[in-house]
Structure 1
Amino acid sequence: MSKRIDVKDLNVYYGNFLAVQDVNINIEPRSVTAFIGPSGCGKSTFLRTLNRMHEVLPGARVEGEVLLDGENLYGPGVDPVTVRSHVGMVFQRPNPFPTMSIRDNVLAGVKLNNKRISKADADDLVERSLTGANLWKEVRDRLDKPGSGLSGGQQQRLCIARAIAVSPEVILMDEPCSALDPISTLAIEDLIEELKSDYTVVIVTHNMQQAARVSDKTAFFNIAGTGQPGRLIEYADTPVIFSNPAEKATEDYVSGRFG
């Protein structure tokens, strides 16, 4: 199911403000790629361009190309809603729909896309998605209970189940563990490792140890100063970034000398 992402000469704007400048990157299928860098360097903004989520803000636009297996997500006539069914997003804070049951939370994306589904197929999809998110055994006896009643770590895994229920090829995660305790964080990290066997996974994290643990490749973003655009400084296999980076700015960041 996973697909390759190729980004070419991408500039991201909010109105007249250039937020991210001239990004070129190739992300392999069935891999985990981590975006790291100081706050405000554009890594989350860039992540949102990969499924056109940034467009929900007025005046947001891009120049350049984002190719999913060679197809430009910004091509003429491409529907952003369709893009988001292929490229799912998991946000920083768990956001299950509070009035919906666990079951309905999993099915929310499917229903949003107006897909007709029988009860038997829905039941099967709920079980497969929750199993894929390592949550089924914990919630299978309370599927009709509100998703908001779960712990923070369980809510985040519920959001991952909701994302994979629509059968995406790519899963984007914007600091998915920042609001979680260490035990829940470890559960999400273990899940990320499992997800890459089926999906292309891209994660933004401020946790250097997390990037080192879960990712195959790491991209370091930086910013020259306030009001300047974020840039991709270095992109390489994760062990290289953390042990032998080519750029001094990368070395300074991963060693804790700034950021």
Structure 2
Amino acid sequence: MTRRWLITGCSTGLGRALAEAVAASGQQVLATARRPETLEDLRDRYPRTLATCVLDVRDPDDCHNAIHAALARYGGVDVLVNNAGVGHFGAVEEVTDAELEMQLAVNLVAPWRLTRMVLPLMRAQGFGDIVMVSSTAGRTPMPGLGAYAAAKYALEGMVDTLALELAGSGVHVMAVEPGACATEWGASLTESAEHVAAYSGVVEPVRAGVRALKTLPMASPPELFAAEVLRLIAADGRPVRTPIGQDAWTLLLDAAQRDYTALLNARPAPAAAQVPAPV
């Protein structure tokens, strides 16, 4: 079946790999990015199946225009992939309101907005798929990634709710949860300017690992992610959640079995210090 796709965040990484895989399969895709000129090579390679459009997912007008561009080019949207995302590193105490708001704006509010905009079209045609690119971070906490994890946890809560609301409509929603991927995501993380020394022992190892994510042995190639999403959309069943990547299941299983009480009790008590007054 030839489907009409709209994918956000296609300039690099997972979004780019998926857009190319869809176009190569003969299906139609509107590949979007804040800088669509980064997609010119894909457009030239797949002129019949891939079109491009500017889309900053934080801009409601851009979101509206992208959906209308898909309607004008292909006559509809059968698969919406909310892939655009941004990461931020900082312990909870270090993350400012503005940094938290950016994480939520891109990783939660934007996919919610685009989903809300496309649902009337899908319900009217009686079918469609909405794919939320979540992360194993949406179910596995890691020190220093609290803001990112909070947005992904919330996104997965939205998916669970929407799946129930769409039951029987012919429209399906799923969260895909990549583990470590060989992309520039880790290297592109923004960081909080304030660093609280008390957290260095727990956040520094995570920072080093995340920054080197692309080179880690367990990092899966973006092409694996793309192939898995194509398989899921083509399959008869639509699971609400699917971990993707060679380390994803291990991360989620470890998180499910983690004994937080033992973990916290094993940490040394902090040295006595003057407690500042609450701000």
Q: TM-score, normalised by structure 2?
A: 0.31
Q: TM-score, normalised by structure 1?
A: 0.32
Bigger radius of gyration among the two: 2
Q: Pick the structure with more strand per residue.
A: 1
Q: Pick the structure with more helix per residue.
A: 2
